[in-house]
């Protein structure tokens, strides 16, 4: 069933259970001579998604229904009157009562704002973090928010992951990792957090109980190596970049330039999007070794996994999304998208749909598309404010 269909099921009604008894000695036989069915039609679900538009200082709540999608409400954000604050990352709390937005373009530092999901603009709290706070996720317990400080506009020096207490909105730890961290994801248990550093070709694992880097993995092809502790900070030569550091020309055999780290649904692997070398790299978390490198589309960028073993990847330079079967490591679908600069992806809790943001360029609006994962096609599309990027799923109604 897709979003445009209505589920139905039928049950026998009491009035329809008619028959007659035929008796022969001690044996009684019931013969049904009619059966009336009462059919119940279940209303289709609505899927609600929050998205941040970086070039417009706008947060949009979208509702996708059986008739497509629409804007439910818009929420202005930011405090700089003469400049763009740049909402980049967005994360909804596990209980669905609040969500968090990273404002990346602060002077000199960025911040994270906490909003109530139910209010038009109910700001619950704020916290100042590092330079260009970007991708983030709330821990499965809901107690902590992990935010990567991408440091886009600064020198290529080690940056960090900020750990924020979600109740008090206080930064309790800033953990140094490597240069330009991006992608912020917990394993299913919440025991480990993963991010990848673009300018160091490194995957970093944080022990969330100890609040320190526990392991790192070098992703450069031919130089793959896992080790304990934090990485040695040696900035590697990387293809010159623009924008958010991901508009790179593909160089065969060049650096990985990772932009996302996504644990598998069972936590046994971490998948890394190599934006420059156009690969999907799988690291096994137990032995901390390379399992495989999978060819991907041009500019693979963000990743999201289903509980059933599929992965949806956005392809920034290819203007598309891909669906992978993780058991075989094969791309099972390639889906063209309406505009350039494909960005984020999130999957609905029922594994039916993927929601993908497309930034657009110049005067184009941002766009959020709804993809039916099983059918591998776009079934709805809604335009929002410019440079749609970070998004997260709120709830099903």
Q: Is 169 helix (H, G, I), strand (E, B) or coil?
A: coil
Residues 58 and 187 in one domain: yes
Residues 208 and 294 in one domain: yes
The pLDDT score that the predictor gives to residue 254 is 79
The separation between CA 392 and the C-alpha centre of its own chain, rounded to angstroms, equals 7
Residues 13 and 155 in one domain: no
The pLDDT score that the predictor gives to residue 23 is 45
Supply the CATH number for residue 221's domain. Answer: 2.130.10.10
The pLDDT score that the predictor gives to residue 358 is 98
Query: Before 164, cis peptide (omega within 30)?
Result: no
The pLDDT score that the predictor gives to residue 81 is 73
Residues 17 and 113 in one domain: no
Q: Is 52 helix (H, G, I), strand (E, B) or coil?
A: strand
Neighbours of 137 (CB within 10 A): 22
Residues 258 and 382 in one domain: yes
The pLDDT score that the predictor gives to residue 273 is 98
Residues 266 and 373 in one domain: yes
- CA 306 – CA 195 distance, rounded (Å): 19
In order along the chain (397 residues), what is the average pLDDT of each group of 10 residues? 44 43 45 47 81 96 92 91 89 97 90 90 91 97 97 87 98 96 97 96 98 98 96 56 46 80 98 98 98 98 97 97 97 96 97 97 94 96 97 97
Residues 123 and 251 in one domain: yes
Report the sign of the C-alpha dihedral through residues 248, 250, 251, 257, in that order. Answer: positive
- The total number of structural domains that make up the chain: 2
The pLDDT score that the predictor gives to residue 35 is 47
Residues 160 and 307 in one domain: yes
Neighbours of 97 (CB within 10 A): 12
Residues 21 and 68 in one domain: no
Q: Is 200 helix (H, G, I), strand (E, B) or coil?
A: helix
The pLDDT score that the predictor gives to residue 39 is 52
Predicted model pTM: 0.86
The pLDDT score that the predictor gives to residue 66 is 75
Q: Which of 389, 385, 332 is nearest to 358 (CA)?
A: 389
Residues 22 and 61 in one domain: no
Residues 130 and 17 in one domain: no
Residues 136 and 37 in one domain: no
Domain housing 384: 45-396
């Amino acid at each position: 069933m897709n979003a445009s269909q209505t589920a139905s099921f039928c049950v026998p009604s009491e009035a329809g259970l008619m028959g007659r008894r035929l008796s022969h000695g001690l044996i009684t036989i019931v013969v049904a001579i009619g059966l009336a069915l009462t059919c119940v039609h279940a209303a289709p679900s609505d899927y609600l998604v929050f998205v941040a538009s970086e070039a417009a200082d706008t947060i949009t709540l979208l509702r996708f229904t059986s008739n497509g999608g629409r804007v439910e409400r818009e929420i202005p954000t930011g405090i700089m009157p003469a400049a763009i604050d740049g909402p980049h990352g967005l994360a909804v709390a596990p209980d669905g009562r609040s969500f968090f937005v990273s404002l990346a373009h602060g002077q000199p530092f960025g911040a994270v704002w906490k909003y109530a999901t139910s209010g038009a603009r109910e700001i619950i709290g704020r916290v100042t973090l590092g330079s260009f706070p970007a991708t983030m996720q709330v821990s499965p317990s809901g107690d902590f928010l992990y935010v990567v400080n991408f440091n886009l506009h600064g020198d290529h020096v080690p940056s960090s992951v900020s750990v924020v207490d979600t109740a008090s909105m206080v930064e309790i730890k800033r953990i140094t990792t490597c240069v330009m961290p991006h992608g912020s994801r917990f394993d299913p248990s919440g025991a480990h957090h993963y991010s990848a550093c673009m300018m160091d070709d490194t995957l970093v694992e944080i022990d969330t109980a100890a609040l320190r880097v526990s392991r790192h993995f070098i992703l450069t092809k031919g130089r793959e190596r896992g080790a304990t502790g934090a990485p040695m900070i040696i900035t590697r030569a990387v293809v010159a970049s623009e924008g958010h550091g991901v508009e790179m020309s593909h160089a065969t055999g060049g650096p990985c330039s990772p932009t996302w780290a996504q644990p598998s649904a069972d936590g046994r692997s971490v998948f890394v999007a190599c934006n420059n070398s156009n690969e999907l790299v799988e690291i096994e978390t137990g032995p901390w070794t390379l399992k495989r490198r999978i060819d991907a589309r041009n500019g693979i960028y963000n990743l999201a996994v289903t509980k059933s073993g599929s992965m949806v990847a956005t392809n920034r330079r290819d203007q598309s999304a891909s669906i992978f079967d993780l058991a075989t490591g094969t791309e099972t679908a390639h889906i063209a998208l309406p505009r350039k600069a494909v960005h984020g992806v999130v999957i609905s809790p029922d594994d039916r749909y993927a929601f993908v943001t497309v930034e657009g360029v110049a005067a184009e609006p941002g766009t959020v598309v709804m993809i039916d994962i099983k059918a591998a096609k776009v079934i709805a599309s809604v335009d929002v404010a410019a440079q749609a990027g970070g998004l997260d799923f709120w709830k099903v109604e």
